[in-house]
Structure formats: structure tokens, C-alpha cells
């Protein structure tokens, strides 16, 4: 059985990601946790000090959240009545990242599926702030789904790598199980630098080749260029339905979250983006 967290802020973008997850796992037995975390707009320090005028506030917010979650659950059941799927609703007075981290550990969650943007949209930004916080905090895989991506099975998954990742510490088991479930072909893309691979990189590549022996896959060595340019160019030549990367401290994906937003616009995330955690 698979356990999946589906965060929602009740936007259509969030519901689109939920719909994607349900279609993706249509043939799998799953428990989906519909999670909404809220911090009321007028929450202030006087509430934490026990100001009588504020005592009812989180309860009101909880009732609203629970009602909206139940509406979301009924909407999903109406659209996708999959007998193998069970839904649990969960509202919490907390930040989304912290609440997901907590529920993931408590319920032994396999992965998280969420939209790339929140209620405000901001299409020119790669990821909304909630998505960034969840990806940064989560110790499990996160699948971020663009709002304009119409569901397609992930028959081809692009996996860019610089071979600087120790794959023994990356959660590649999830990617391999996931791709076997969908009979996906893994496209391993590396941008070659003039200096070539150092010893560690060569060893990591050899280890990765061993992991993929029973997997439908192909390795690509592309000429030296910016990674964003390489990813975008690859997708024009070879259609893929998903992009997967490992999030380690020195990787390109980590830089996406700390560099100015303007630098992130060049990456066209038109397909779902699977971010795999890395155990430092």
C-alpha cells in the first residue's frame, strides 16, 4: 500500500495536482492524506499569551478548513471513484512544511504530490513559496505538478545528473520502483565539462550503472553548456513526461531555491518535477 500526502490550499492548482496523483496511482492501493495547514492572518503574539478575544480563532479556522477538506474529498470521489483509494482529511494550525514533515514521519508517508503554485498563481516563478518550503524540509520525495500539465503516464523520465551525488545516500529506490510501476524509460543526462569526470564522479556513475541494470534506461553525455539550456534542449528533442532530480547541498536544484527568482525563469517546468531527498 502506498501512502501519499496531498497538500491543498483549496486553489484549482492544488486540486489539479490532487487529480494528477489520483490518475497516476489509479491501479495502486493508496491512502491519500488531504492536508491543509493554516496560520490565521490576524494571528499575533497576543494569542500565544492567551488574550481572551483571540481564543476562538484557531477553532474557527479549523472548522472552515475541515469543511473545505471534506468538500475536496467529496469532489475527488465524485470525479474519480477508485475503490483502491482511501482519503484521510487533516487540518492543522501550523506551517505547511512543518506539518507535512510531522505527518510524514508519523504515518510513514511514501511521497508528497503538490502543485507548483498556490492560490496567487505567479506563473513566471518556478515554484511557489509553499512548494519550496515543502521541498526544502521534506525527507521524502516530492512531486510538483504544473497547473497546465494535462495528465500523461510518465513513460519517459529525464534524470539530469552531474555524478557528484553519492547514489547510496539518495532515495533512488523510490525512482526505480516508480519507473517500474509505469514501465518508464529513464533518460540519464550528463553535461560534460572540459575537465571530464573526477574519480568520485566516475565511481558514482559506475554505481548508478549497476543500479540500472534491470531498468529500461539510456545514458546521454551532452557537450558543455548551462544545465537549464541542456534540460530545455533535451525536452525539445525527446519528449518526457517527468523530470527527476536529487536535491543535495551543492546541486543545481538546491541553487534554484537560493538564487534570485529571475534566474529560475529559464527552466521550463512544463512536466511534473520529482525531487528526491539526499541523506547528508
> What SS3 string covers the chain?
CEEEEEECCCCHHHHHHHHHHHHHCCCCCEEEEEEEEECCCCCCHHHHCCCHHHCCHHHHHHHHHHHHHHHHHHHHHHHCCCCCEEEEEEEEECCHHHHHHHHHHHHCCCEEEEECCCCCCCCCCCCCHHHHHHHHHCCCCEEEECCCCCCCCCCEEEEECCCCCCCCCECHHHHHHHHHHCCCEEEEEEECCCCCCCHHHHHHHHHHHHHCCCCCEEEEEECCCCHHHHHHHHHHHCCCCEEEEECCCCCHHHHHHHCCHHHHCCCCCCCCEEEECECC
pLDDT at 122: 45
pLDDT at 18: 97
How far is 209 from 188, CA to CA, in rounded Å? 10
Nearest to 117 by CA among 109, 125, 107: 125
**Cell numbers standing for residue 53:** 478575544
CATH fold match for the domains 2-145 and 156-245+252-271:
yes
pTM of the model: 0.86
**Cell numbers standing for residue 17:** 495536482
Handedness of CA 203, 204, 208, 211 (dihedral sign): positive
pLDDT at 250: 57
Beta bridge mates, 242: 157
**Domain segments of the chain: what residues?**
2-145, 156-245+252-271
How far is 176 from 169, CA to CA, in rounded Å? 14
- Location of C-alpha cell 495536482: 17
User: At a CB cut-off of 8 Å and minimum separation 6, what does 136 contact?
Assistant: 97, 257
pLDDT digits (tens, 9 = 90+) for 61-108: 888 999 999 999 999 999 998 999 999 999 998 888 899 999 999 999
Does the domain at 2-145 match CATH 3.40.50.620? Answer given as yes
Per-residue pLDDT of the chain (280 residues; tens, 9 = 90+): 999 999 999 999 999 999 999 999 999 999 999 999 987 655 545 445 554 444 455 578 888 999 999 999 999 999 998 999 999 999 998 888 899 999 999 999 999 999 886 444 444 445 666 777 788 778 899 999 988 889 999 999 999 998 988 888 887 889 999 999 899 999 999 998 888 899 999 999 999 999 999 999 999 999 998 887 888 889 889 999 999 988 866 555 555 555 544 344 445 567 898 989 887 6
> In CATH, which of 1.10.1060.10, 3.40.50.620, 3.40.50.300, 3.40.190.10 is domain 156-245+252-271?
3.40.50.620
How far is 12 from 116, CA to CA, in rounded Å? 12
Amino acid at each position: 500500500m502506498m501512502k501519499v500526502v496531498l497538500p491543498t490550499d483549496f486553489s484549482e492548482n492544488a486540486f489539479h495536482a490532487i487529480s494528477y496523483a489520483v490518475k497516476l496511482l489509479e491501479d495502486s492501493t493508496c491512502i491519500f492524506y488531504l492536508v491543509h495547514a493554516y496560520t490565521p492572518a490576524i494571528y499575533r503574539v497576543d494569542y500565544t499569551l492567551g488574550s481572551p478575544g483571540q481564543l476562538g480563532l484557531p477553532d474557527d479556522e479549523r472548522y472552515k478548513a475541515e469543511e473545505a477538506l471534506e468538500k475536496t474529498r467529496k469532489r475527488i470521489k465524485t470525479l474519480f471513484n477508485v475503490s483502491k483509494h482511501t482519503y484521510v482529511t487533516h487540518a492543522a494550525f501550523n506551517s505547511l512544511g512543518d506539518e507535512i514533515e510531522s505527518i510524514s514521519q508519523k504515518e510513514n508517508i511514501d511521497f508528497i504530490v503538490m502543485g507548483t503554485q498556490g492560490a496567487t498563481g505567479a506563473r513566471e516563478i518556478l515554484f511557489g513559496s509553499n512548494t519550496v518550503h515543502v521541498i526544502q524540509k521534506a525527507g521524502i520525495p516530492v512531486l510538483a505538478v504544473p497547473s497546465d500539465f494535462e495528465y500523461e503516464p510518465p513513460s519517459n523520465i529525464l534524470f539530469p545528473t552531474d555524478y557528484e551525488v553519492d547514489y547510496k545516500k539518495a532515495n533512488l529506490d523510490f525512482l526505480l520502483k516508480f519507473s517500474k510501476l509505469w514501465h518508464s524509460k529513464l533518460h540519464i543526462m550528463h553535461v560534460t565539462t572540459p575537465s571530464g569526470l573526477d574519480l568520485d564522479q566516475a565511481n558514482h556513475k559506475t554505481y548508478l550503472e549497476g543500479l540500472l541494470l534491470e531498468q529500461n534506461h539510456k545514458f546521454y553525455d551532452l557537450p558543455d553548456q548551462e544545465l537549464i539550456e541542456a534540460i530545455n534542449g533535451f525536452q525539445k528533442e525527446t519528449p518526457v513526461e517527468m523530470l527527476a532530480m536529487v536535491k543535495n547541498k551543492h546541486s543545481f536544484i538546491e541553487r534554484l531555491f537560493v538564487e534570485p527568482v529571475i534566474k529560475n525563469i529559464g527552466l521550463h517546468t512544463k512536466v511534473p518535477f520529482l525531487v528526491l531527498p539526499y541523506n547528508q
